[in-house]
Amino acid sequence: MTIELAVPETRPVPWTRRHLLGLEDLSRPELETILDTAEDFAEVSQRRRKKRAGLKGKVVVNLFFEPSTRTRTSFGLAAKRLSADTIDFTTSSSSLMKGESFIDTAKNIEAMGIDVMVVRHSSPGAPHLLAQHVGCSVVNAGDGAHEHPTQGLLDMFTIRRCKGRLENLTVGLVGDISHSRVARSNIHGLLKLGARVIVCGPPTLVPPSIAQLGVEISHRLEDILARCDVINLLRIQFERQRHGLFPSINEYARLFGMDSQRLRRAKENVLLLAPGPINRGVEITPEVADGPHSAILQQVTNGLAVRMAVLYLLCGQPPAEG
């Protein structure tokens, strides 16, 4: 499959939000503004000198209370490419280990002159709580099983760059829907941008209540393969699950893993996504993950542009209210 760059016409709107806590509350024009701004930053990674001055003099801190490789590194690099100063907060060496509260830790860090806090936390709503207690901008980098807005945005940005649009596309979200903050952010964003969404997985991993968000539910991957323009293969969240949600890893891979045989039943130009880290041989086989339909590495590259856009919109412009 040949992936062609097709950039839609820009439709900028004034950005007035101080925080990015989720996609549920964003409007379609706001989502499009982030994606359009990311388009402006995408070329920075192709330059010989990979720098812009949009956040010069600003300070961005990564407050990660859960392990992360891609998201933490991506936000740090995004801030540096916009010429911001950066700080990485490490839980194991912080005063949290001495009993200091989450809010007190954040307020003490803010007192050092922080402009943006990028927060990942195991508790749903933690970034929202933090935003009520600090004066700087807060970006949700994943809160429990609630949302992961920049992952949803980079997934949509990747689809838009590869397919030229999101309107009227059918996107399948396959796997551990119950525990996936990525699934929720994708659902909120994709539906607002005009896509159709099918969630697919074992009944134990797909809550019936998810249909209230406006998605279709399927429990057989074979039933949706020929209908999907994009299939996003979500990681099994072993760290958040209780035992017994499916018989075995091999059984899950046999029923819901994307392999060469299933790929032949899909649309000829189907686009495959997977938020890292991928479990090779579980959600997707190695030859498919590395094959021509896969945009997994493009997602990582595009994530940098999206996070640059988010940081710039939040604090690289004249101060906004809200």
Is the same domain home to 166 and 274? yes
Instruction: Give mean pLDDT, residues 121-127.
Output: 94
The yes-or-no verdict on residue 264 having pLDDT over 90 is: yes
Entry pTM: 0.90
Among the listed residues 48, 49, 98, 242, the single catalytic one is 98
Is the same domain home to 177 and 81? no
Is the same domain home to 124 and 195? no
Among the listed residues 28, 52, 70, 128, the single catalytic one is 70
Is the same domain home to 154 and 290? yes
Annotated catalytic residue 2: no
Residue 90 lies in a domain: yes
In the numeric block, the tokens 């604090």 are attached to 315
Strands 116-121 and 196-200: unpaired
Is the Cβ–Cβ distance between 252 and 282 less than 8 Å? Answer: yes
Is the same domain home to 131 and 216? no
Residue 59 lies in a domain: yes
Is the same domain home to 189 and 252? yes
The yes-or-no verdict on residue 168 having pLDDT over 70 is: yes
Instruction: Give mean pLDDT, residues 177-193.
Output: 96
Is the same domain home to 154 and 142? no
Annotated catalytic residue 120: yes
Is the same domain home to 159 and 272? yes
Which residue range(s) make up the domain with 92? 28-146+301-315
Residue 154 lies in a domain: yes
From the number of C-beta atoms within 10 Å of its C-beta (0-12, 13-18, 19+), residue 57 rates as exposed
Is the same domain home to 267 and 192? yes
pLDDT tens digits for 95-112? 555 456 889 999 999 999
Among the listed residues 18, 37, 58, 71, the single catalytic one is 71
Q: Which of 148-152, 238-242, 259-263 has the lowest mean pLDDT?
A: 238-242
Instruction: Give mean pLDDT, residues 201-220.
Output: 96
What's the Cα-to-Cα distance from 96 to each of 129, 179, 189, rounded to whole Å?
Answer: 17, 26, 34
Is the same domain home to 155 and 273? yes
Among the listed residues 81, 120, 160, 307, the single catalytic one is 120
Number of domains in the chain: 2
Residue 321 lies in a domain: no
| Model pLDDT, residue 4 | 40
Instruction: Give mean pLDDT, residues 38-46.
Output: 89
Percent over 90 (pLDDT), the chain: 75
Annotated catalytic residue 71: yes
CATH number of the domain residue 205 falls in? 3.40.50.1370
Among the listed residues 58, 121, 148, 192, the single catalytic one is 148
Residue 9 lies in a domain: no
